[in-house]
Chain A
Amino acid sequence: MSEPLTLRIAHLYAHFLNIYGDRGNLITLLQRSAWRGIGVTVDPIGLNEDFDPAMFDIYFIGGGQDKQQQIIAADLNCRRKKLHEAVNGGSVILAVCGGYQLLGHYYRPASGDELAGISLIDAWTVAGSRRMIGNVVVRRPDGSTLVGFENHSGRTFLGKDVEPLGRVITGNGNNGDDHLEGTAQAVGRGKVFGTYLHGSLLPKNPIFADELIALGLARRHNSVKLPPLDDALENEAHERALRLRA
């Protein structure tokens, strides 16, 4: 009686925003789904490429270099409505670094024009004078930890009603001042995750990876419970990353 589970992932701007091992995040979503027998697809969506907002369970937007941000920002604004529609309808977004910045209201560079974001979350980013580079450990509200590596000069600030992804234990996080990192904000029926952590983020954070998979599945499937995997290696890598210096 139960239909086979399927998970549809969209990789936005795969061509542009594919640095810092973003591919590792997708490989992790793919493998952890596949190991559980979930049929999973990843579709790249390029510039000007149309998509159906009802189609995808998870949208992944990676990090990019400064020059590419302008091109992405312009394109993203053309899809603003569709992305809002998708998230409100239950989709999950995971955006890393440059992608994360554009989910807020704007990115203000040190010189030149402001880049408009898509205001999916109440947040904004201002160029900083110092590049924040190094290992990061974050504690999530449920007590679990996230480990990763940050490399950004933009300083992101969250509006007062926006949930952060967690609090920084090691490293800088959103802006180096308020000890917050990323965002995990419910929007309509969906959820928006933004973070400065790459490194890659998901392979060493299997709990978080599974949270995304479960949320993604929940859009089109009822009461999904993911069977556990043997995560001994993932957990060991996570434990060791907790001890890395910033």
Chain B
Amino acid sequence: MADTLAIIAGKLSARAIRAVGAGLGSNLPGRISRAISPRVLANLARQSRKGVLAVSGTNGKSTTTGLVSSILRHAGCKIAHNRQGANLVTGITASLVDSADWCGNLDVDYCLFEIDEAALPIVAKEVPISVVLVTNLFRDQLDRFGELDTTALLIGRGITCNKSKAVLNADDPNVAQLGADCERLFYGIESLSPDNSSGSPHASEAAETSSFKTVQSPDPATEASGTPEAGVQELAYCPTCSAEYVYSITFYGQLGHYACKSCGSQRPVPDISGSDVHLHPSSSTFALGYKGKSYAVSLPLPGLFNVYNALAAASLCFSLGLSADVICAGLTDYSTLFGRSERVTILERAVWIQLIKNPAGASQAVRAAVRDPHSRILIAINDNTADGRDVSWLWDAEFELLRAHDKPIIVTGQRCYDMALRLKYAAIPQGNITIIPELDRALQAGLDTMRSDETLWVLPTYTCLLDLQKITRSMGSTLSGT
């Protein structure tokens, strides 16, 4: 009975909030429902016919969850999933309350949750999760948890508490060590096509350039800050013996093919693999390998990070027993929802929005933007709590890549001067750095200066993204899909 009341109260408050137009991801309805019935989340989730699926990790949660939901819809499954950004226990509760009928019945095959790393063990304690997918563990939340190790610990606890099946990124040593006592399925990238420059096949070279290797500066403007990859290669350590992993291939951050020279532990052989990866300005193709067979995937998303997201989504769906045909169709038909990685049309101009929040993700977004020969670039940096109040991560991202982009770059947001300074020290000519602190004016300037055949790449931190959604809505944006 308490549940019915909780659901009614939750639904009513959600309507009230929508009516007054409060922002996205409000946690209030979930909080109200949980206050009335603490078991409401468990009781609703239990009704899913085939189970509860969780997607966690630092980068790519939203896109991966979106890809999984696209595949599940292709498979004819009914799903309930949480709204983007609402990935704490209250937001997840609110999403189920929203999906349930007024009597508290939830008619779905799967509950699919994007879950914040810290919230995973909390949700897992209430809800038996069948499969936990972990995308990657980059350091971006040091000011939240203090340490990356703490985050890994929280996720590990979330997996083992229900003995969930774990779908893990084999290429990320921080992730591959998780859930050792559970059933595990690994995915990873075996090879890029030779025409992509982002992978470094030379182990020793990659390891040596991980700091500035004796940088001489005869030509200050171009040479002084070392190789672009310099600060971004992350070091990783063997969980067994604490020795530094040695890489035979590095993709980005700490992702790659690694092995411990002292105890022999190494990257697990992926059950699901990506190979022959081709990256294009607004799409990618790769060969998806599973159980000895290979399937051609064409993905309507740019950037190596999105190939990882697609592999992750495919792996989760393989673990549910779905067919390769359904999986490939779901990936190909994916259309971006309003969120962290999406294409919109504003005033008849093409705009690509890609959330950035940490060095690895930002470097990948910049790399993708620079690869597009018709790109214009706008970077929006705020320092609210949801963005991370410490903007020092900007210095660890590869903004040096923008030297190849010889057009003006607009910087905006509360910390636009920090961003401008970052570009100056990346040897971007100051004449190409346009500072416009107000986001709406910056966006307008970006749209005004671009040609009709160009795409404006907007790279915002989280609260800039929320502001952008409001601004673009008032400008009459339309989703163009991809």
Q: CB within 8 Å of B: which residues of A?
A: 11, 14-16, 18-24, 26-28, 30-31, 33-35, 37-44, 65-67, 71, 131, 133-135, 149, 151, 153, 198-200, 203-204, 233-234, 236-237, 240-241, 244
A44 pairs with B393, CB closer than 8 A:
no
Q: CA separation between A32 and B393, bound complex, in Å?
A: 21
Interface residues of B in 237-257 (CB under 8 A from A): 242, 244
Looking at the assembled complex, report how far the CB atom of B240 sits from the nearest CB atom of chain A, in whole angstroms: 14
Q: A15-B235, A15-B244 are in contact. Are A30 and B392 (CB under 8 A)?
A: no
CB neighbours of A149 from chain B (8 A): 389-392
A sample of 12 more A-B contacts (CB under 8 A), given A26-B212, A39-B216, is: A16-B235, A24-B396, A30-B212, A39-B217, A39-B218, A40-B217, A41-B216, A43-B213, A149-B389, A200-B395, A204-B421, A237-B420
Which listed residue, A14, A16, A24, A65, touches B148 by the CB 8 Å rule?
A: A65
What 1/0 flags go to B440-478 for Cβ under 8 Å of A?
000000000000000000000000000000000000000
Tell me the bound Cα distance from A24 to B425 in angstroms: 9
Complex CA–CA separation, A151 to B389 (angstroms): 11
Chain B residue with Cβ nearest A237: B417
* Whole-angstrom distance between the Cβ of B274 and the nearest chain A Cβ: 28
CB distance from A204 to the nearest CB of B (A): 7
Q: Does B181 contact A (CB under 8 A)?
A: no
Q: How far is the CB of A145 from chain B (nearest CB, A)?
A: 16
A-B contact pairs, 28 of them (CB 8 A): A14-B210, A16-B235, A18-B396, A20-B390, A20-B393, A21-B393, A21-B394, A22-B395, A23-B230, A24-B396, A26-B212, A27-B225, A27-B226, A31-B427, A39-B217, A40-B216, A42-B226, A43-B214, A44-B213, A66-B147, A67-B147, A135-B389, A149-B389, A151-B146, A199-B392, A203-B422, A233-B417, A234-B421
CA distance A75 to B368 in the complex (A): 40
- Give the complex CA separation of A204 and B389 in angstroms: 16
Chain B residues contacting A38 (CB-CB under 8 Å) are 217
Q: What are the residues of chain A within 8 A of B225 when measuring CB–CB?
A: 27, 30-31
Q: Which residue of A lies closest to B146 (CB)?
A: A131
B142 at the interface (CB under 8 A from A): yes
Q: Is B325 an interface residue (CB 8 A)?
A: no
In the complex, chain B residues whose CB is within 8 Å of the CB of A203: 395, 421-422, 425
In the assembly, what is the distance between CA of A153 and CA of B143, in Å?
A: 12
Given contacts A11-B211, A44-B212, A234-B421, contact A34 B224 (CB under 8 A): yes
Given A27-B225, A27-B395, A65-B149, the answer on whether A34 and B220 have CB atoms closer than 8 Å is: yes
Give every chain B residue within 8 A of A135 (Cβ-Cβ). 389
Select the residue from A42, A204, A234 with max chain B CB neighbours within 10 A: A42
CB pair A11 B142 closer than 8 Å:
no
Residue of B nearest to A40 (CB): B217
CB–CB B395/A21 < 8 A: yes
Produce 1/0 per residue, B103-121, CB < 8 A to A. 0000000000000000000
Q: Judging by beta carbons under 8 Å apart, are B390 and A151 in contact? A: yes
Question: Which residues of B have CB within 8 Å of A131?
Answer: 146
Contact A24 B214 (CB under 8 A): no
Minimum Cβ distance to chain B for residue A40 (Å): 5
Cross-chain contact A20 with B392 (CB below 8 angstroms): yes
Question: Top 7 nearest A-B pairs by Cβ distance?
Answer: A24-B395, A21-B392, A14-B211, A34-B220, A21-B395, A23-B231, A44-B211
Determine whether the beta carbon of A199 is less than 8 Å from that of B391.
yes
Contacts of A198 in B (CB 8 A): 390, 392
Do residues B224 and A30 form an inter-chain contact, with CB atoms below 8 A? yes
Whether the pair A19, B139 counts as a contact (CB closer than 8 A) is yes
Task: Give the docked Cα–Cα distance between A40 and B217 (Å).
Answer: 6
How would residues 131 to 144 of chain B score, 1 for a CB under 8 Å from any chain A CB and 0 otherwise?
A: 00000000100110
Residues of B with C-beta under 8 A to A30: 212, 215, 217, 224-226
Distance in angstroms between the alpha carbons of A44 and B235 in the assembled complex = 14
Question: Which A residues lie within 8 Å of B215 (CB)?
Answer: 30, 40-42
Q: How far is the CB of B87 from chain A (nearest CB, A)?
A: 22
In the complex the two chains form, what is the Cα distance from A31 to B211 in whole Å? 16
User: Measured between C-beta atoms, what is the minimum distance from A246 to chain B in Å?
Assistant: 10
CB contact between B220 and one of A19, A31, A200, A233 (< 8 Å): that residue: A31
| Contact in complex: A233, B226 (CB < 8 Å) | no
Chain B residues whose CB sits within 8 angstroms of the CB of A241 once the complex forms:
418
Contacting pair A236 B417 (CB below 8 A):
yes
Cβ-defined partner of B421 (8 Å) among A11, A44, A233: A233
Could you tell me if A11 and B212 are in contact, using CB atoms closer than 8 angstroms? yes
Greatest chain B CB density within 10 A among A19, A131, A133 is at A19
**Are A151 and B143 in contact, with the CB atoms below 8 A?**
yes
CA distance A65 to B145 in the complex (A): 12
Let me know if B197 is at the binding interface, CB within 8 A: no
Residues of A within 8 A of B163 (CB): none
For window 190-232 of B, CB contacts with A under 8 Å fall at: 210-218, 220, 223-226, 230-231
Contact across chains for A18 and B143 when beta carbons are under 8 A apart = no
Flag B242-284 by CB within 8 Å of A: 1 or 0 each.
1010000000000000000000000000000000000000000
CA gap between A97 and B429 in the complex, in Å: 32
Chain A residues with CB under 8 Å of B142's CB are 19-20, 151
B145's nearest neighbour on chain A, judged by CB, is A131
B424 contacts chain A at the CB level, 8 A cutoff: yes
- How many angstroms between the C-alpha atoms of A236 and B433 in the bound complex? 14
Known A20-B142, A23-B231; contact A233-B420, beta-carbon cutoff 8 A: yes
How far in angstroms is the closest Cβ of chain B from A173? 16
The interface centre, meaning the residue of A27, A31, A65, A66 with most chain B CB atoms within 10 A of its CB, is A27
Which residues of B are found within 8 Å of A71, using beta-carbon distances? 242
